[in-house]
């Protein structure tokens, strides 16, 4: 594809991480191209409902946020990356607001919820369509600039070319190549493909197939914790139209609890994700689970405990989906079981988002280290914005150096 003047920064993927990186690179003065597998809007980020973490409460601080991340990761996260993630979170929120993302407010401040594993209320929300609102703001910011958008470009290989990198793509019109001084990989995780291989349900978008990670590893990049995949504790189990739907963790933040077949609470419903998922697996294995009408394992999520006023403000999409499927979660309990959700590990990066390949950066779910082997809810969107901004800026500076 003839793109005119040389490209400084080529971004691969158009989720929150890729959009933040492309916008940040452009704001740093780079000539930017963004290539993505299908459309600019197709990604996991837009599906994110629950929210994004930032220590903005009066009783909170980035240091407490960092402690929670390290504890939830069982001390497997990279402390340097965690320090960046948590200390830059308030500024990331301010940036998103400048771009037009309006977070839900109440009583003169942000409406904050406590997510699993957190010691404070720290989760900002835009109703329960937070990922949609964040990606929309980033996309509109990018589209207002001069970045070149190459949709329907699926990366198939990456190799060095002169002083930079050459990316090869499969497109509906055949193969294409783009040369750039630096590359930012922001192609997300692999849980859709992994679930298909395992014959399980997943919350992920069909584009989450992970081939870019493999391409980077083949080019010599280092990876970490790639075997650590995360189950979302609360996949929808019934009715069939809700199977694979990720019931927002905010249901539990606002009072819903997990119950076994006998109606007993069997775990701390707001524990770290891996512990809550494991508790559900164990409860079902011990014969105290419930079977769905199509014979799937499940436990109850007692959503009737959520105050209607909280549900109206913070769970309107979830309510609409369930009511449309014939179940009112405020009037009856719903059936849930863990589903494959997130790739905790990924490519090794430094605090500027550079991989172990010089000139190749990575941000978002494709990168490893920020969450170690167990991510907290609300820290992935945050990672996309904080490290997307950093990677885009650093890639622009390197391209011009
Ligand atoms: C249902 C759901 C709910 C979630 N809720 C939350 C939440 O409340 N809070 C939170 O923090 N996190 C949440 N997450 C996790 C979070 O949304 C994602 O981990 C994060 O948004 C990933 O962003 P990303 O930009 O790295 O990847 P994605 O958003 O997945 O974007 C990847 C992009 O790369 C493109 N791509 C893939 N392969 C290629 C290729 N070979 N060539 C070119 N392009 C390619 C894709 O098409 C896509 O555009 C949720 C995830 C899901 C699925």
What tokens were used for 166? 């050459």
User: 192 CA distance to ligand 1 centroid (A)?
Assistant: 11
Measure the CA–CA gap between 35 and 21, rounded to whole angstroms: 12
Has residue 115 got a pLDDT over 90? no
User: Are the C-beta atoms of residues 264 and 238 closer than 8 Å to each other?
Assistant: no
Quick one: which of 206, 156, 146 has its CA closest to 178? 156
Residue 304 is inside which H or E element, if any?
none
CB 148 within 8 A of CB 32: yes
- In degrees and rounded to multiples of 5, residue 33 shows phi and psi of -125, 140
The pLDDT of residue 249 is 87
Mean pLDDT value of segment 276-286: 97
Choosing from 65, 118, 129, 207 the residue with most ligand 1 atoms within 8 A of its CB, the one to mutate for a pocket test is 207
CB atoms within 10 A of CB 74: 13
As a whole number of angstroms, the distance between CA 200 and CA 340 comes to 7
Q: What is the CA(186)–ligand 1 centre distance, in A?
A: 9
Q: What was the pLDDT predicted at 164?
A: 96
CA 15 to centroid of ligand 1, rounded, Å = 5
pTM, rounded to two decimals: 0.95
Give the Cα separation of 127 and 129 in Å (integer): 6
Residue 257 has, within 13 A of its CA and on its CB side, a CA count of 9
Counting atoms of ligand 1 from 1, which one is nearest the CA of 14? 49
- What pLDDT does 1 receive? 56
Give the residue-averaged pLDDT of 176-182.
97
Q: Is 204 in the pocket of ligand 1 (CB under 6 A)?
A: yes
Range list of β-strands (E), 96-214? 105-106, 109-110, 112-113, 123-124, 148-150, 154-161, 164-171, 174-185
Whole-number pLDDT of residue 15 = 98
pLDDT at 116 (0 to 100) = 87
* The 52-53 sheet, strands edge to edge: 52-53, 123-124, 112-113
Residue 263 CA to ligand 1 centre (angstroms): 35
Q: Tell me how far the alpha carbon of residue 233 lies from the centroid of ligand 1, in angstroms.
A: 18
The response to whether residue 51 sits with its C-beta less than 6 Å from ligand 1 reads yes
CB 387 within 8 A of CB 349: yes
CB 365 less than 6 A from any atom of ligand 1: yes
Q: Which residue in 38, 21, 18 sits closest to 206, CA to CA? A: 38
Q: Are 386 and 93 in contact (CB under 8 A)?
A: no
Which of 187, 252, 368 has the most ligand 1 atoms within 8 A of CB, as the residue to mutate? 187
Distance 354 CA to ligand 1 centre (A): 19
Where is average pLDDT lowest: 9-23, 104-118, 251-265, 378-392?
A: 104-118
Instruction: With residue 223 as reference, give the H or E element that holds it.
Output: strand 223-224
| 53 pLDDT above the threshold of 80 | yes
Ligand 1 neighbourhood includes 125 CB (under 6 angstroms): no
Q: What pLDDT shows up at residue 244? A: 87
Tokens of 189: 């995780």
Answer for the pair 216, 355: CB distance below 8 angstroms, yes or no: yes
Answer yes or no: are the C-beta atoms of 373 and 225 closer than 8 Å: yes
| The pLDDT of residue 210 is above 60 | yes
Q: Is the pLDDT at 185 greater than 90, yes or no?
A: yes
* Residue 297 pLDDT greater than 80, yes or no: yes
Residue with tokens 């400084």: 8
Name the residue with the closest Cα to ligand 1, atom 3: 48
- Reduced to 3 states (helix: H, G, I; strand: E, B; else coil), residue 101 is coil
Residue closest by Cα to atom 20 of ligand 1: 45
Indicate whether residue 381 lines ligand 1 (CB < 6 A).
yes
Tell me if 18 CB under 6 Å of ligand 1: yes
User: Alpha-carbon distance 250 to 254, whole Å?
Assistant: 6
Average pLDDT, the chain: 96
* Structure token digits, residue 50: 């629950």
Distance CA 80, CA 67 (A): 12
Closest to 148 (Cα-Cα) out of 359, 5, 28: 5
Which atom of ligand 1 is the closest one to the Cα of 366? 26
- Determine whether 321 is an active site residue: no
Angle ∠(81,82,86) on CA atoms, nearest 5: 120
Structure tokens belonging to residue 112:
């904050």
Q: From ligand 1's centre to the CA of 293, what distance in Å?
A: 31
Q: What is the spatial distance between Cα 338 and Cα 319, in angstroms, rounded to a whole number?
A: 20
Question: Which tens digits make up the pLDDT trace of 62-86?
Answer: 999 999 999 999 999 999 999 999 9
CB of 215 sitting under 6 A from ligand 1: no
Catalytic residue chosen out of the listed positions 31, 139, 190, 273: 273
370 lines ligand 1 (CB under 6 A): no
115 lines ligand 1 (CB under 6 A): no
Asked if residue 346 has its Cβ within 6 Å of ligand 1, the reply is no
17 with 187: CB under 8 angstroms?
no
**Alpha carbons 36 and 19: distance in angstroms, whole number:** 11
Of the candidates 344, 342, 392, the residue with the CA atom closest to the CA atom of residue 8: 392
3-state class (DSSP) for residue 57 = coil
């Amino acid at each position: 594809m003839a793109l005119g003047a040389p490209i400084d920064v080529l971004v691969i993927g158009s989720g929150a991480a890729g959009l933040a990186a492309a916008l940040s690179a452009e704001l740093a003065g780079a000539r930017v191209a963004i290539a993505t597998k299908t459309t600019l809007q197709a990604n996991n980020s837009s599906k994110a409902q629950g929210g994004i973490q930032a220590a903005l409460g009066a009783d909170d601080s980035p240091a407490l946020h960092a402690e929670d991340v390290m504890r939830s990761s069982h001390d497997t996260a990279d402390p340097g990356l965690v320090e960046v993630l948590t200390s830059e979170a308030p500024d990331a929120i301010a940036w998103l607001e400048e771009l037009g993302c309006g977070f839900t407010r109440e009583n003169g401040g942000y409406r904050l919820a406590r997510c699993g594993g957190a010691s404070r209320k720290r989760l900002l929300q835009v109703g329960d369509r937070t990922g949609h609102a964040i990606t929309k703001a980033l996309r509109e910011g990018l589209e207002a600039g001069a970045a070149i958008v190459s949709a329907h470009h699926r990366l198939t290989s990456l190799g060095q070319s002169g002083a930079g990198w050459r990316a090869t793509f499969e497109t509906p019109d055949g193969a294409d190549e783009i040369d750039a001084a630096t590359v930012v990989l922001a192609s997300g995780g692999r849980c859709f493909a992994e679930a298909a291989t395992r014959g399980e349900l997943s919350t992920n978008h069909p584009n989450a197939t992970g081939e870019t990670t493999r391409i980077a590893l083949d080019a010599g990049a280092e990876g970490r914790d790639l075997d650590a995949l995360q189950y979302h504790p609360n996949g929808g189990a019934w009715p069939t139209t809700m199977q694979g739907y990720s019931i927002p963790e905010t249901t539990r933040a606002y009072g819903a609890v997990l119950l076994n077949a006998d109606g007993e609470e069997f775990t701390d419903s707001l524990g770290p994700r891996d512990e809550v998922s494991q508790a559900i697996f164990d409860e079902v294995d011990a014969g105290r689970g419930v079977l769905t009408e199509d014979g799937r394992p499940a436990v109850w999520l007692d959503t009737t405990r959520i105050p209607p006023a909280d549900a109206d403000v913070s769970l309107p999409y979830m309510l609409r989906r369930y009511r449309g499927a014939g179940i009112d979660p405020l009037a009856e309990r719903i059936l849930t079981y863990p589903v494959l959700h997130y790739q905790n590990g990924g490519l090794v990066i430094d605090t500027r988002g550079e991989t172990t390949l010089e000139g190749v950066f990575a941000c978002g779910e494709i990168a490893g280290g920020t969450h170690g082997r167990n991510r907290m809810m609300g820290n992935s969107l945050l990672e996309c914005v904080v490290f997307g901004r950093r990677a885009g800026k650093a890639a622009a500076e390197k391209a011009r150096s």
